[in-house]
Amino acid sequence: MTDENASVDPRFERVAIIGLGLIGGSLGHAIKRGKLAAHVAGYARSAETRARALEIGFVDSAHETAADAVKNADLVVICTPVGALGPVAAEIEPHLKRGAILTDVGSVKMAVVRDIGPYVPEGVHFIPGHPIAGTEQSGPDSGFAELFDGRWCILTPGPGADRDAVAKLAAFWQACGSKVDYMEPKHHDLVLAIVSHLPHLIAYNIVGTADDLETVTESEVIKYSAGGFRDFTRLASSDPTMWRDICLNNKDAILEMLGRFSEDLSAMQRMIRWGDGEGLFNLFTRTRAVRRSIIEAGQDTAAPNFGRTPAQKK
């Protein structure tokens, strides 16, 4: 579909962003950078976040209710944690403009179809979406226009989705810097379980394990974290609400991946216990090719240590 979009105008008259944190904020910045809307209306739960979004300037107006923010919008993007999508959809339903596109950025997609689907009025185009881009930070100050550049955005339009609406939304994400892909919600949830959910859960888990040890102190873990541990703490400092909601809403795929991971871990444990140097060497060898491919695909940097700046002497 990418080529078909070349002629599609990616711009909207009025965009409403519901939820003004890392993703909502970055979207606002990307819209401003690309001049993709005449007006960006925003809503967040707290008055602080609304005021901060206006001050930074990635929205043109901030509204006290989501219902108010979506009025007359041609594109509505819900950027709250996954658990809040249903309630937000219920609230905005009567206020959506006929012909508008309704989308989201939630990290799971089957639950989104389940939760938002019932609240989509006749004549509104509901096309779920998920930009595969993020950082460990959250809140209105964490967003930036370049977040989506070169990253994939997955759309999961239903079987009856309007082709023009899908093409328009795809063109919009491309204008925000993304590459666009299409998937079934169920397959999306399986893919994301391995490329995102499992890594985050493993990271939270190992940081928890380290925190519980009686034989190694917390101060030792922190001092010597450059041995590899610190890499995991980045993922493990992501927003707890977001990750709770992902676990609750992608249970089956996550349990499937956790089960496979545990099996493989038992096999590795066995190799270590029995001193199977050849088996270990083979496992440690084949994983290198994956990183090379990720760097070639432009999805990570080849600079050693992610190009981290060297530590300061203290």
Lay out the site mask for its own copies across 149-188 (x = CB under 8 A, - = otherwise).
xxxx-x----------------------x-x-x-------
**Is residue 226 close enough to count as binding its own copies by CB under 8 A?**
yes
Give the Cα separation of 133 and 137 in Å (integer): 12
Q: Does the protein bind ligand NAP through residue 107 (CB under 6 A)?
A: yes
- Six-digit token pair at 52? 């901060």
**Shortest gap between Cβ of 154 and its own copies (angstroms)?**
8
230 binds its own copies (CB under 8 A): yes
What is the Cα–Cα distance from 188 to 128, expressed in whole angstroms?
11
Give the residue among 124, 190, 181, 178 at the shortest CA–CA distance from 155.
181
Decide: is 2 part of the binding site for its own copies (CB under 8 A): no
Instruction: Number of residues interacting with ligand NAP: please give it, by CB under 6 A.
Output: 26
CB 35 within 8 A of CB 61: no
Contact 44, 65 (CB under 8 A): no
Q: Which stretch binds ligand NAP (CB under 6 A): 102-110, 157-165, 167-175, 266-274?
A: 102-110
Would you count residue 185 as binding ligand NAP (CB under 6 A)? no
Q: Does 30 bind ligand NAP (CB under 6 A)?
A: no
Environment class of 227 (CB within 10 Å of its CB; exposed 0-12, middle 13-18, buried 19+)? exposed
Among 15, 23, 89, 180, binds ligand NAP (CB under 6 A): 23
Least distance CB 229 / its own copies (angstroms):
4
Q: Which does 7 bind (CB under 5 to 8 A by kind): ligand NAP, its own copies, none?
A: none
Nearer to ligand NAP, 162 or 239 (CB): 239
- Residue 9, contacted partner among its own copies, ligand NAP, none, CB below 5-8 A by kind: none
Instruction: Calculate the CA 305 to chain-centre distance.
Output: 23
Minimum CB separation of residue 243 from its own copies in Å reads 5
CB of 249 to ligand NAP, least distance (A): 9
Q: Return the residues of window 129-148 that contact ligand NAP according to CB under 6 A.
A: 130-131, 134, 138-139
Of 8 and 155, the one with the shorter C-beta distance to ligand NAP is: 155
Q: What does the alpha-carbon distance between residue 129 and residue 117 come to, in Å, rounded to a whole number?
A: 13
Cβ atoms of 233 and 203 closer than 8 Å:
yes
Interaction of residue 28 with ligand NAP, rule CB under 6 A: no
- Contact residues toward ligand NAP (CB under 6 A) are 19-24, 44-46, 49, 79-82, 84, 88, 105-107, 130-131, 134, 138-139, 239, 242
